[in-house]
Amino acid sequence: MTRDDDQRPASADGDDQLLVLPDELRDELKEPMGPIETDADRLLEAVDGPLIAVGDIVTYHLLQAGRRPDVALVDGRTKRSAVDEEIREAVTSGASIEVRNPPAELSAPVVRALRRALSTAEPTTVLVDGEEDLVALPAIAAAPEGASVVYGQPDEGMVHVVVTDDDRTAMRELLERFEGDTDRFWALLDG
């Protein structure tokens, strides 16, 4: 397993921090960005293209339904608590990239890992030390047309976004409202 954040040294000024979620966007992000599905088999019937899963429980349900996501981002936690050992083992098996990403942030290592995972033909699991929730946003912004980005909606199910140009534009506009170095963020994400 490679550690993406070890490939480039962090500077004393927080080189790895790119974007921080501002408080005024927190409520807005609680709204699902697509339809909510509770049945992984039914969700997979609507998948026609690359599958990107954000979250341990989502990834686990997709694996249980017989589909390994093309890109999975997991952190070993759900609703701020550790996932069961069975789930942790299933979703981290074969993890190929490990990165740090603090809660309520998007760090340079996680953006580089997402970019690399999206560009490889092999299924890639990114194990995040910290929190992976916000990575759904750049995943939607960077995913190809027709890709499925699936993330968890706590206590409701799995949100399924079939990526369109409109979705990518909306995510770009949303991410522009984050605090931090948006120019560097886009340079890393757009590669």
Residues 110-163 pLDDT 10s: 999 999 999 998 999 999 988 888 999 999 999 999 999 999 998 899 999 999
- Is 41 annotated in some ligand binding site? no
Cβ neighbours around 167 below 10 Å, total: 19
75 is in an annotated binding site: yes
Annotated ligand binding at 132? The verdict is yes
Query: How wide is the angle at C-alpha 148 spanned by C-alphas 147 and 149, nearest 5°?
Result: 120
Whether 15 has a pLDDT exceeding 60, the answer reads: no
In this prediction, residue 9 carries a pLDDT of 36
The answer to whether 98 is annotated as binding is no
- What average pLDDT does range 67-71 have in this prediction? 95
52 annotated among ligand-binding-site residues: no
Task: Give me the chain's average pLDDT, please.
Answer: 88
Give residue 6's pLDDT.
43
| 163 is an annotated ligand-binding site residue | no
Q: How many CA atoms lie within 13 A of 87 on its CB side?
A: 17
pLDDT at 61 over 50: yes
Q: What is the pTM of this model?
A: 0.88
Mean pLDDT over residues 48-75, rounded? 94
